[in-house]
Amino acid sequence: MKITVFGTGYVGLVQAATLAELGHDVMCVDINHAKINQLNDGIIPFFEPGLDQLVERNKLAHRLSFSLNPKECIEFADILFIAVGTPSYEDGSADLSAIETVAKTIGNYINGYKLIINKSTVPVGTVDLVKNTILETLAENASSYVQAMNSNDKLASILNRDKIEFDVISNPEFLKEGTAVIDSLHPERIIIGSNSKKALSIMRKLYHSFTKKGIPILEMDVRSAELTKYAANCMLATKISFINEMARLAELLGADIDAIKAGIASDSRIGPSFIDAGCGYGGSCFPKDIQCLINKAKEHQFFPHLLTAIEAVNSEQKTLLVDRVLNYYGHDISGKHFAIWGLSFKPETDDIRNSPSLTVINSICKLGATCTAFDPVAITNSKQYFANNQQVTFAESKELALIDADALIICTDWQQFYEINFDILKTSLTEPVIFDGRNLFSLADAIAQNITYISIGRKPVY
Ligand code: UGA
């Protein structure tokens, strides 16, 4: 099938490469010249394991190409995915201007039946917005053609004259940064929200190879699909904030969060995933999506208590490591120097958006401390973020970051941080103290190594 994907961010680029891998002919279009030039030169604009090989393989097979020309891409394809960015406004609502621009562009160049698919995470009602924007654009373009008619007749006449037919549906994405390629090639489910039979039958063909592998396709109405995406992310964030609140209680009551996790995870209704206590969730999705859903609820005069609490618990959790540091040093850390391990909001990504590490570093710097940070891939992004902050320096390895620091603070659970050499740690730090926001080590190891080890939801080791 011939497909165009609007947007070359995480969602758009991974979706385009996946569809090409499934054997479809895919064009990717973006307004960002630099990005398209990079992609044409074989450079992926962000770090995502395995994506470079997937893109390269499909480019070489002539199934995937990149363009700056939306007209060419719209005329080429029968299926148009919209995967452009939807940043947040201050009040948490989604800025849909990029989506509207794409819809207008489609209205300008549509040249026959098109199936238009919302892939970006967008508030409930965005399928209708895209549909109406395309219709309005068509009407504007043809206003001279049928000025005398009323608007409904006008639209019907335009569509009929140009044989323009289109459907807009929702097909939300569930991939995770860091494992986006695997998630996209092996999805656990596919959600299709469509009120059109024709669109549904095209979607079944599009994802036929997934169905053959036994991957379930869940068909539903448009608005349910749109809300399913938010429900999934909010549920996951709920699990994290819940376990983090339990971790706080465990500390106060002399219990251990690892034992509690094991105890509840063995109940199949709860399960073991997404209940690791830590220094809070980050990234571009959970914080943004929860705010957006809260905002949507308020538009309907409904106050979502639970959603509001998830965010409140998380904001507090992100300050926990700094509270621990302050408690340990008697509330004065001015002049102290810290080693920071982990800048990205989670492993296997260079994304630092809303990362707990930013809260930690900004707070300790405000209190007069300095730090040297290490991250396996997020240093370039972090250097930009901290460009005006002289108190933050960067090291080329986790060991170099430790030299002459007063303590180590761990913000991200990168695999290589589990493989710690305690001897190097003890000789590098002025005092062997670890504040661990990801519970990487066992308390028994910390005791055996004579390390002061302060983690989350567990007894501190002194
Ligand atoms: C999230 C969802 O997991 C995806 O399903 C969804 O498609 C995506 O948002 C999106 O909407 O685009 P992502 O933001 O890439 O994916 O990251 P996650 O793997 O969900 O992790 C989010 C945060 O939760 C990280 O900071 C991680 O460290 C934290 N986390 C995760 C915990 O603190 N504890 C856990 O047990 C699990």
User: Which residue owns the Cα nearest ligand 1 atom 18?
Assistant: 176
pLDDT number for residue 141: 87
Contacts of the segment 254-261: beta carbons below 8 A, 24+ positions apart: 254/459, 256/457, 256/458, 256/459, 257/439, 257/456, 257/457, 257/458, 258/439, 258/457, 258/458, 260/457
pLDDT of residue 389: 97
Helix (H, G, I), strand (E, B) or coil at 284: coil
Confidence band, pLDDT 50/70/90 cuts, at residue 164: confident
pLDDT of residue 435: 98
pLDDT digits (tens, 9 = 90+) for 386-405: 999 999 999 999 999 999 99
Beta carbons of 225 and 191 less than 8 angstroms apart: yes
Enumerate domains of the chain plus CATH numbers: 2-220 (3.40.50.720), 230-315 (1.10.1040.10), 319-454 (3.40.50.720)
Burial class (CB in 10 A: 0-12, 13-18, 19+), 163: exposed
Q: Which of 229, 240, 317, 456 to mutate to test the pocket of ligand 1 (most atoms within 8 A of CB)?
A: 240
Question: What is the arithmetic mean of pLDDT over 124-137?
Answer: 97
Would you list which residues are annotated within the binding site for NAD(+)?
30, 35, 86, 121, 177, 288, 353
Closest ligand 1 atom number to CA of residue 174: 7
- The average pLDDT across 222-248 equals 98
Select the more confidently predicted residue: 193 or 145: 193
Spatial separation of the C-alpha atoms in residues 288 and 259, rounded to whole Å: 32
pLDDT score, position 142:
80
End-to-end CA distance of the chain: 63
Atom number, ligand 1, closest to the C-alpha of residue 273: 36
Nearest CA to ligand 1 atom 6: 174
Residue whose CA is at the smallest distance from ligand 1 atom 30: 281
> How far is ligand 1, taken at its centre, from the CA of residue 283, in Å?
7
Task: Tell me which residues have their CB closer than 6 angstroms to ligand 1.
Answer: 121, 173-177, 233, 236, 240, 274-276, 278, 281-283, 285-286, 345-346
Q: Ligand 1 centre and the CA of 378: distance in Å?
A: 17
3-state secondary structure of 377: coil
Read off the pLDDT of residues 83-92 as tens digits, 9 standing for 90 and up: 999 999 999 9
pLDDT at 347 over 60: yes
Ligand 1: atom nearest CA of 346 is: 28
Q: Which residue is closest in CA terms to ligand 1's atom 2?
A: 176
Q: Which residues are catalytic?
A: 285
Helix and strand totals (H; E) in the chain? 21, 14
Q: How far is the CA of 176 from the centre of ligand 1 (A)?
A: 7
Report residue 379 CA to chain centroid gap: 19
Section 420-444 average pLDDT: 97
pLDDT tens digit sequence for 3-18: 999 999 999 999 999 9
What residue owns the CA closest to ligand 1's atom 12? Answer: 285
Best probe residue, ligand 1, of 84, 182, 236 (max atoms within 8 Å of C-beta): 236
Average pLDDT, the chain: 95
Mean pLDDT, residues 115-128 taken together: 97
Atom in ligand 1 nearest the alpha carbon of residue 412? 28
pLDDT tens, residue by residue, 257-300? 999 999 999 999 999 999 999 999 999 999 999 999 999 999 99
Percent of the chain with pLDDT over 70: 95
Q: Could you tell which of 118, 176, 177 is best to mutate to test the pocket of ligand 1, judged by most ligand atoms within 8 Å of the CB?
A: 176
ipTM above 0.90, yes or no: yes
Confidence of residue 162 (pLDDT cuts 50, 70, 90): low
For residue 149, pLDDT beyond 70: no
Binding residues for substrate: 174-177, 229, 274-278, 282, 346
**How does residue 155 score in pLDDT terms, banded at 50, 70 and 90?**
low
The per-residue pLDDT for 144 is 56
Residue 245 Cα to ligand 1 midpoint, Å, equals: 18
The sign of the dihedral angle between the CA atoms of 316, 320, 321, 322 is positive
Q: Which atom in ligand 1 lies closest to the alpha carbon of residue 278?
A: 33
Residue with CA closest to ligand 1 atom 31: 274
CA 290 to ligand 1 center in whole angstroms: 13
pLDDT for 407 beyond 60: yes
